[in-house]
Structure 1
Amino acid sequence: MALAITDALTRHDVIVWAVDPSTGQQTFAPFLPYLDWVEMTQAGGEEMIDALSQVITARADALGR
């Protein structure tokens, strides 16, 4: 997983979200300064998933311009 996150962080025009209510800081600690949105709770992860459809629509609209 670390390799995938590192690869994504080298791209431009990419945001990286992470959620892990089980091991949170243990998993993401090295990446925390570079991640756009991190949730360490189940409720926070659900909020992130709820926001995802709006982000996808906004991104698609931006790419269509």
Structure 2
Amino acid sequence: MKYPGCVPKTCGRYVSDKIVTTHEAETLLQLAHKGMNLKHTIMSMSTKFNQEFNLTFKNNILAFIQIEL
């Protein structure tokens, strides 16, 4: 074991319909479909994917998405 004693206190599943709204889920699904249709095999911060969706990164963390669906 890499970190002895560092284990979850409980094991189980968490199911919730409130992690994202229906609108957010639909938006993410449409974003994924549009991204997959770009036919790029590897996506990086310099790819057409980022240009297509006007993604803005700060310290390699996604900071802003502007998308028209």
Q: What's the TM-score, normalizing by structure 1?
A: 0.31
TM-score by length of 2: 0.29
Of structures 1 and 2, the one scoring higher in RCO (CA 8 A, sep 6+) is 1
Task: Please identify the structure whose Cα radius of gyration is greater.
Answer: 2
Higher helix share: 1
